[in-house]
Amino acid sequence: MRAWQVMELGGEPTLASLPPPIPVKGEVVLRVEAVGLNFADMLAIQGKYQVRQAPPFVPGMELSGVVEALGPGVEGPAPGTRVLATCPAGALAERISLPAHRLSPLPDTLGFEEAAGFPIAYGTSHLALTHVARLKRCETLFVTGAAGGVGLTAVEIGKRLGARVIASARGEARLEVARQAGADVLIDSETPGLKDRLKAEGGVDVVYDAVGGPAFDQALRACRPEGRLLAIGFASGEVPQISANLLLVKNLTVSGFWYGGYEAHAPGLVADSMAELLRWRAEGLIHPHVSHVMPFEAFPEGLALLRERKATGKVVIRVQAP
């Protein structure tokens, strides 16, 4: 089978021919249809992700596909079932073998391309906003990087939960994407004076920050009493340093959130979250945004779109020809 491989950390992935997987006890072999790309994929290739993969390895952390074979002790889903899944690595291949508990059957309303970019972005925003921040109806949510993969889902889910959403992104085109996802207030991230602008909007109750850098500190200073700040990622490359005295004065809470950590220590919580998200999608309550669908051979170009901030929502790699 064809697969992209990372032969050394920090090197360029190469297209290789590998033997197809054979499922062991508890695993299922999938024919991979499409793969969603994430900022985390770039970090993994560079050896800078939370969990470091030992080369050689196949990158890719989320996918959609079709069940082809069941390993010993697995009762389902049956061969032919359309599913989505997450994995620590290995998605960018024509076949993959995964534990059965990682699979979620797809509703008829969700195609392979949308499904491939669905679990990590939506799962991150749903669990972060509901389980960790406990966002309430009529509260104000501020989202940085609001046109990106996770940021856009935070805007959409925040509105679904009844919040007033302030979205920050760079440029009119990206802000328009956030507006279409439901953002009530738009702030260009290139405009100075973020703290004052947020305070002019009445302050914020929950901050969802996937960017890091100065925006985190500015948002922290604009929080209302008992505000909650979610550190989702650091796409800017700058990890914020927090002044603890600010937390004390306003009784603020800062929480880190890593979806992969919940998959490891709270798989039941992740499964319940994904089931609710898929119900929402089946009912037409959320609408995945895929800005680019690219062929398997164009994986490096897909990564470049993320690195250069030229994508909105998700970039998806089509492994099998449509």
pLDDT reading at 305 higher than 80: yes
The single-letter DSSP state of residue 24 is: -
Does residue 218 belong to any structural domain of this protein?
yes
Looking at the fold, whether 294 and 251 belong to one and the same domain comes out as no
Last residue of a domain, one of 245, 260, 275: 260
pLDDT in tens, 17-76: 999 999 999 999 999 999 999 999 999 999 999 899 999 999 999 999 999 999 999 998
Does residue 72 belong to any structural domain of this protein?
yes
Supply the pLDDT for residue 237: 83
pLDDT reading at 129 higher than 80: yes
Q: Name the H helices within the chain.
A: 39-46, 112-116, 119-127, 149-160, 172-180, 194-200, 214-221, 244-250, 259-265, 267-282, 299-307
The total of structural domains in the chain comes to 2
Average pLDDT, the chain: 96
pLDDT reading at 322 higher than 80: no
CATH number at residue 47: 3.90.180.10
pLDDT in tens, 73-113: 999 899 999 999 999 999 999 999 999 999 999 999 899 99
Does residue 278 belong to any structural domain of this protein?
no
Give percent of the chain above pLDDT 90.
94
CA 162 to each of CA 99, 119, 129, 156, 158: distance values in angstroms, whole numbers, following the listed order: 36, 22, 12, 10, 6
Does residue 271 belong to any structural domain of this protein?
no
Could you tell me the end-to-end alpha-carbon distance of the chain, in angstroms, rounded to an integer? 18
Nearest 5°: phi and psi at 80? 95, -10
Does residue 267 belong to any structural domain of this protein?
no
Looking at the fold, whether 13 and 81 belong to one and the same domain comes out as yes
Supply the pLDDT for residue 235: 87
∠ CA 302-153-185, nearest 5°, is: 115
- Spatial separation of the C-alpha atoms in residues 41 and 163, rounded to whole Å: 31
Range of the domain at 14: 2-118+288-318
The single-letter DSSP state of residue 100 is: G
pLDDT reading at 243 higher than 90: no
- The residue with greater pLDDT, 81 or 243, is 81
Looking at the fold, whether 125 and 107 belong to one and the same domain comes out as no
∠ CA 59-131-102, nearest 5°, is: 35
Structure pTM? Answer: 0.95
Does residue 269 belong to any structural domain of this protein?
no
- Spatial separation of the C-alpha atoms in residues 99 and 230, rounded to whole Å: 30
Assess whether the previous peptide bond of 288 is cis (omega < 30° from 0).
Answer: no
- Spatial separation of the C-alpha atoms in residues 55 and 57, rounded to whole Å: 5
Does residue 279 belong to any structural domain of this protein?
no
